[in-house]
Amino acid sequence: MRTVKLGAFTGEIGNIGKEEQVPQRQAVEGQRCPLRASTGSSPGVCNYLGCSPELCLSCSVQSLEQQNKVLTTRWNFLKDQDNSHSESDIKAIYEQYMNKMNQEMKALNYEQENLESELAKVLSTMDTFRSKYEDEIRLCSGMEFTFMELKKDLDVSTLHRTELEVKLKGLQELLELKKTIYEQELLTEIKDISVVLGIDSCSRPDLGRIVEDVRAQYEALALRSWEEAEALTRRKGGSFGGHLLDGRREIADLNIRIQKLRSCIVSQKSQCLYLEEHIREAGEQGEGTLRDAKAKVAGLEEALQRSREHMAHLVRDYQELMNIKLALDVEILTYRKLMEGEENRTPGGCGDIVEPRNALGWSTLSHPLSWTGERLEGV
């Protein structure tokens, strides 16, 4: 006996092969004639020893009918175990199983389409992030180029500032030198001034007043010269101071722009790192999902192939069993016809004989070829 499980169909099928049929047929041959069973002789020897053909035929028919009853009982038992009553039931179960497999395949195809659409979305997202990443890289390169240009401008401004400071220092030294020279020339002029005075002999000269007048003139001249020097110094100092303030203001602006560019570069680098990490995670997730989907599809295809092979094996076993049953029905029908012919020639017979029926309760006389060995469709 062999247990079979196919969907809702569970049962056991008895393997009635040629090895089991040989001893059964030998037993039937032995039961056809008591003399043959006791001596093990051939049919010719039985005829020679005096066993009548009518008796041998009647005993053979009775033994075959008993064997038919045994097989019918066994078939009913197998039928009750298999929970299947006809070939149409097997076909229905097979069709139901195939429909179930088709539904699973449709579900797998639908899931595969969903996974492919998700994969396409992930790939499109990856392309979008890649384009954004490339744009950010280009922007970052542009910002770095701008930073380098600004750095060059800063270096030039720093050099210009240094030059201006050196020039200012030189001008201050020149101013101090000119002031010193002017003071020395002024003192020299004061020493070298000769004054011609007309003295009235009649009157007494007022020397104190004359000295005061000369002193006042020289003080006015010195004050005017000092004011002119101060004005020149202020004018030149204001010009150089304005240039210096402009340079310092420009340097401060450049420092502010450099700080802004540095902060922007840092933020762009962090965003680039985030985009790279997100792209890598999306790629790994898409590859993992695709691998899982392929593994599921391969497993289901393998299970479907195993189920088909198992169904084909069950159908072959069922056909072999039906072929054996058909052979027995044909043999019983043959002996039935022979017995009816003998009864027609010799009235009286061997008594009432039960009409042989097959495993489904059909008469083998009215339906001699009720079972065929045709293969199930779809296998």
Do the Cβ atoms of 257 and 150 come closer than 8 Å?
A: yes
Angle at 228 between CA 225 and CA 231, to 5 degrees: 150
What is the C-alpha to C-alpha distance for residues 300 and 306, in angstroms, rounded to an integer? 10
Q: How far is CA 290 from CA 56, 114, 136, in A?
A: 76, 11, 30
Do the Cβ atoms of 44 and 131 come closer than 8 Å?
A: no
What is the C-alpha to C-alpha distance for residues 318 and 78, in angstroms, rounded to an integer? 12
189: number of CA atoms within 13 Å, CB side? 10
> Could you write out the DSSP letters of every residue in 212-268?
HHHHHHHHHHHHHHHHHHHHHHHHHHHHHHHHHHHHHHHHHHHHHHHHHHHHHHHHH
Buried b (16+ CB within 10 A) or exposed e, 282-312: beeebeeeeeebeeebeebeeebeebeeebe
- Among 143, 168, 27, 114, CA closest to 289: 114
> Helix crossing, 18-32 with 53-82: angle to 10°?
150
- In order along its 379 residues, the chain shows pLDDT tens digits of 444 443 434 444 444 444 444 444 444 444 445 444 444 444 444 454 455 556 667 777 788 888 888 888 877 776 666 554 456 777 787 788 888 888 888 888 898 888 888 888 888 888 888 888 888 888 888 888 888 888 888 888 888 888 888 888 888 888 888 888 878 777 777 665 555 555 555 555 567 777 788 888 878 888 887 888 788 778 877 777 777 778 778 888 888 888 888 888 888 888 888 888 888 888 888 888 888 888 888 888 888 888 889 888 888 888 888 899 888 888 888 888 888 888 887 755 444 444 444 444 444 444 433 333 333 333 3
Q: What pLDDT does residue 56 have? A: 64
> Could you write out the DSSP letters of every residue in 98-118?
HHHHHHHHHHHHHHHHHHHHH
Q: What pLDDT does residue 214 have? A: 80
Burial of 328 (0-12, 13-18, 19+ CB in 10 A): buried
| DSSP secondary structure letter of residue 366 | T
7: number of CA atoms within 13 Å, CB side? 20
What is the C-alpha to C-alpha distance for residues 323 and 12, in angstroms, rounded to an integer? 18
End-to-end CA distance of the chain: 24
Q: What pLDDT does residue 329 have? A: 87
Please give the backbone phi and psi of residue 363, each rounded to the nearest 5 degrees, phi first: -75, 130
Altogether, the residues listed in the chain come to a count of 379
13: number of CA atoms within 13 Å, CB side? 19
Write the single-letter amino acid at 368: P
Write the single-letter amino acid at 369: L
pTM beyond 0.75: no
Q: What pLDDT does residue 54 have? A: 60
Q: What pLDDT does residue 42 have? A: 46
What is the C-alpha to C-alpha distance for residues 375 and 287, in angstroms, rounded to an integer? 45
